[in-house]
Structure 1
Amino acid sequence: MTVRVEDVRQAAERIAGRVLRTPVIEVRPGLIFKLELLQHTGSFKPRGAFNRLLTAKENGELTGQGIIAASGGNHGLAAAYAARALGVPARIFVPVTTPAAKLGKLRTLDAEIVQVGSEYAEAYQAALHAQEESHALLVHAYDQPEVVAGQGTVGLELLEQVDGFDTVLVAVGGGGLIGGIATAIGDRAHVVGVEPELAPTMHRALGEGRPTDGSVAGIAADSLGARRLGDHAFASVQDHHVQSVLVTDDAIVAARKELWHDHHLATEHGGATAYAALVSGAYEPQPGERVVVVVCGANTDPGTLS
Structure 2
Amino acid sequence: MTNGNSITRERIAAMEPRIRPYVRHTPVLRVDMADFDRPPLGVDLKLEYLQHSGSFKARGAFTNLLERPVPAAGVVAASGGNHGAAVAYAAMRLGHKATIFVPEVSPPAKLQRIRGYGAELIVGGARYAEALAASEAFAENTGALQIHAFNQEETLVGQGTLGLEIEQDLPEIDTLLVAVGGGGLIGGIAAWFAGRIRIVAIEPEGAPTLHRAFEAGHPVDAPAEGVAADSLAPKRVGEMMFPIAEAFVERSILVTDDAIIAAQKALWERVRIIAEPGGAAAFAALLSGRYTPAPGERIAVLVCGSNTDLAKF
* Partner of residue 238 from structure 2, selected from 213, 230, 241: 230
Shift of 1:44: 0.2
Structure 1 residue 125 corresponds to structure 2 residue 106: no
Shift of 1:241: 3.9
Shift of 1:174: 0.1
Q: Is the 8 A contact 2:200 2:249 kept in 1?
A: no
Shift of 1:301: 0.9
Q: Is the 8 A contact 1:19 1:39 kept in 2?
A: yes
Shift of 1:171: 0.3
Q: Is the 8 A contact 1:30 1:288 kept in 2?
A: no
Report how many aligned residue pairs link the two structures.
Answer: 301
Structure 1 residue 154 corresponds to structure 2 residue 166: no
The residue type equivalent to 2:21 in the other structure is G
* Partner of residue 41 from structure 1, selected from 50, 53, 58: 53
Match of 2:71 in 1: 63
Match of 2:44 in 1: 32
Q: Provide the identity percentage.
A: 49
SS in 1 for 2:86: helix
Deviates further, 171-180 or 212-221: 212-221
Residues 88-103 of structure 1: matches in 2 within 5 Å?
A: 88-103=96-111
**Structure 1, unaligned runs of 5 or more:** none
Match of 2:218 in 1: 210
- CA distance in 2 between counterparts of 1:84 and 1:241 reads 34
Structure 1 residue 165 corresponds to structure 2 residue 169: no
Query: Stretches of 4+ moved more than 2 A in 1?
Result: none
- CA distance in 2 between counterparts of 1:51 and 1:235 reads 21
Q: Is the 8 A contact 2:219 2:238 kept in 1?
A: yes
TM-score by length of structure 2 reads 0.94
Structure 1 residue 10 corresponds to structure 2 residue 22: no
- CA distance in 1 between counterparts of 2:100 and 2:249 reads 34
SS in 2 for 1:64: coil
Q: Is the 8 A contact 2:223 2:233 kept in 1?
A: no
Match of 2:294 in 1: 286
Match of 1:20 in 2: 24
Q: Is the 8 A contact 1:174 1:228 kept in 2?
A: yes
- CA distance in 2 between counterparts of 1:7 and 1:30 reads 33
Q: Deviations over 1:102-131 (max 9, x none)?
A: 111111111011012111110000000010
The residue type equivalent to 2:63 in the other structure is N
The residue type equivalent to 2:141 in the other structure is E
Shift of 1:14: 1.8
SS in 2 for 1:133: helix
Shift of 1:242: 2.9
